[in-house]
Amino acid sequence: MIRLIWPGLAARRSSLTGSFLALALGVALCAAAGAALVAALDPPGDRPLWYATPDVVIAGPDRAGGRGEPGNAVLPPGERGHLPPGIPARLAALDGAGRMVVDMAVYARLDGVAEAHPWSAAALHPGVFLAGGPPRTDGQVVLPAPTARRPGDQVTVATADGPRRFVVSGVLDTPAPQSLYVADATAARLAHGRIAAVALFTPSADADAVAARARVALADRPELRVLTGESRRSAHPDPDAGLLLVATTLLGESAAVACLVSAFVVAGAFTFTVAQRRREFGLLRAAGATPRQIRRLVLGEALGVGVLAGLAGCALGAAIAEPFARRLAAAGLAPPGFTVRITPWPMAAAFTLGVVVAVVGAWRAARRAAAVRPVEALRGAAVERPAMTWVRWLAGLACLAGIVPIIPLMRTPEGAAYLLVVVLLLILAGAALAPAVVPLLVRTLTVAVRGPVRVLARESALAAVRRTAATAVPVLATVGLAGASLAGTATLSAAQALGARDHVTASAVVIPAGAAALPDPAAATAERVPGVTAAVRIKQTFAYDRDDRMIRQHAAWYVDGAAAARVLRLPVTAGSAAGLTGDTVAVSQSLAEAHGWRVGTKAALWLGDGALVLPRVVATFRDRLGLPAVLLPWTTLHEHSSVPLPDALYLALAPGAERAVEDAVRPLGGTLTSTGKHLSTVDAEFDTLSRLALLAIVGMAVVYTAISIVNVQLMAAGERARELAMLRLAGATPRQVLLIVAHEATLVGVAGGLLAGGVTAATLTAVTAALSPLVSAVPIVVPWAPLLATSAGCVLVALLTSLACAVPAAHLPSRLRSQVSCRWRP
């Protein structure tokens, strides 16, 4: 039986071409995604760049929940943990500690550089002066090369404490990440006591032994990291970590969709071909083949397709990985200069995944082929068997039921990810139920049709249910994925924007002008302007809590608690946000109920720097869109943020005070804008990123649609040829035959689009059900233009493919045409 596999593949190469192409593309995407993931998690270079010369580095936490704890969470991009003030003294007492450098990282922006360190930290990596020398006074700064500045130039550096004037003392050329260097006393003052890391030089001692002693000395602080060797690289955060996360997430989602659609194509292809080969399997059974051998034959063919497609996909993935990485960087979805490296294990994983998808996709078809009985197959080989089975009904209903527990999860910060899960479940349900639903749609669309061409097109679509469903399902998958994802994401974003507008009562907002951030004194400057009654600083971050299994991430704001009520409408249920100062916190009602927190009790939270804090709850408020789950006092910002600066100032001001506020904040790098415009800009930035990611996934799905439809038409070509030839012999002209095929293809494509419309409607229903408790109204947003364009493209692909396959059969040879004495007229 195994000897029949390769001849069978060669004989059916045209019908298996679609499966081969789908799997090859899926493997290529998975290989490229794996290569990108390796590049993101393990950037090139064996040695660290910033902490290149010390032997041991002690750094703060890089995750919330503690290292080694189950379900901990990586800190948000741009944040880093810090060391408590007493740690350097402990480390200085270690045997063999050697020379120590206390490193501090402070916000300081100039010419694209966003960080400053003490001059003593220059010893942590190699460097050579191109001009000038080190800073010797409080007002001097060293700039990294390349720069147009020269020693003696005066520069204005944006710091957390406001703009500061410095004199350039030197220009340093170093392979380390770009940073400004200031005097040690200046860095300590700007850092407000935050220590980024402690570096130990141990030339006369074993670095591993010193590291072991450091771990013992810091046993009471397990969240702190003692790093040696290549691991020292992680002590300096990657500024591109956020974009790397976006790139890997996009590639991972694309690879997941590719695997899912590949399984669709393979399953559809093998199900269709098994239905066509019932006579062949019946003859094999009559010749003595066992059901197990028939099953092995079908799975062997799937394995052969998977192996060939896996090899081709790995080659294609290796070829497209680097151009694809450059394209992601150009679109702003990856850091500038993002590159990938081709390594063996992503290719091996992608190849294995392709083979598994092929075998799993063909498993159900193999079982159906093995169930063929000799007499049954010989007697009914020409009759199409029922397409809907109890397995399809159960699978479709199970997918629909699986949506119910996911709906509440769409209220979380990861709501967009859960939305994609809902969309995929709805598409799976539609694909499983398509043989039952598509004929109903065809009948509904053709209830009033007249004329032989349209009637025959309808009856052909209804008679060949498998072919009709197999053509409609790819349209469903592509249009449903595009429509439901784009509409669901747009509705989520619109609801967030509406919630923010419901709860932000500020008259105007001061935001940073350009790339610089607002300095902390900007609020006091704005408050001194006549007509300004409140200037509330807002900084968005994340806070974390632990449930029974893992760390959960929640949106959080640092705010000026006493004045927050003047610019925010907080739906407080207990306590008062006015007490939000010092070691306190205000939390949402759902978060409080999850832990049994009440006003006056202590809450356990990890903040953005990975530090565990136990603040006292001073208020709880209702869960609403547009508001975070955690409100933190502004007075604790310097202790727990690498960038202790406001994202915006929310102002309450009298009419006519706008010009004075604008003039006051402009020297500090701020600009005044209306509250509505500010919120719209934030929404637009989020929408642009989400739309780019979704369009990349949808574009990939359109390619799969074309492959799947072509695959179905190629497999059905032989069967359709006999049908169309009979029409020609009955007197139909070639034009009439092609019109029948065109009407049928259009009808099936429109039916698939309507089924996708149902998926979109169900998705919006789920989004509305999830968000209704959190917002006054859920605005439904449907992006009609891309939805209609995608639908039209899918119908056009189905139409052109059907016509291309029908043209040979529509033109009979002249010897057969001469035998037809009559002409069929509509």
Give the chain's residues under pLDDT 70.
1-16, 18, 40-46, 66-72, 238-255, 257-272, 275-276, 331-337, 375-387, 413-414, 514-516, 681-702, 704-706, 713-719, 809, 811-826
Mean pLDDT of the chain: 81
Q: What is the pLDDT of residue 447?
A: 83
Considering the entire predicted model, what is its pTM? 0.74
Q: What is the pLDDT of residue 380?
A: 46
Residue 172: DSSP 8-state: E
Note whether 772 and 494 are within 8 A (CB).
no
- In three-state secondary structure terms, 457 is helix
Note whether 76 and 608 are within 8 A (CB).
yes
Q: What is the pLDDT of residue 581?
A: 87
C-alpha 141/C-alpha 130 separation (Å) is 14
Closest to 107 in 3D by CA, of 583, 666, 637 = 637
265 class by beta-carbon count within 10 Å (0-12 exposed, 13-18 middle, 19+ buried): buried
- In three-state secondary structure terms, 628 is coil
- In three-state secondary structure terms, 165 is strand
The dihedral sign for the CA sequence 621, 622, 626, 628:
positive
The full DSSP string for 239-252 is TTHHHHHHHHHHHH
539 class by beta-carbon count within 10 Å (0-12 exposed, 13-18 middle, 19+ buried): buried
C-alpha 527/C-alpha 535 separation (Å) is 6
What CA–CA distances, in Å, run from 114 to 106, 129, 158, 517, 643?
9, 21, 9, 10, 10
- Using left for φ > 0, alpha for ψ between -120 and 50, and beta otherwise, residue 197 falls in beta
Strands 197-201 and 225-228: unpaired
Cis link prior to 826 (omega < 30° from 0)? no
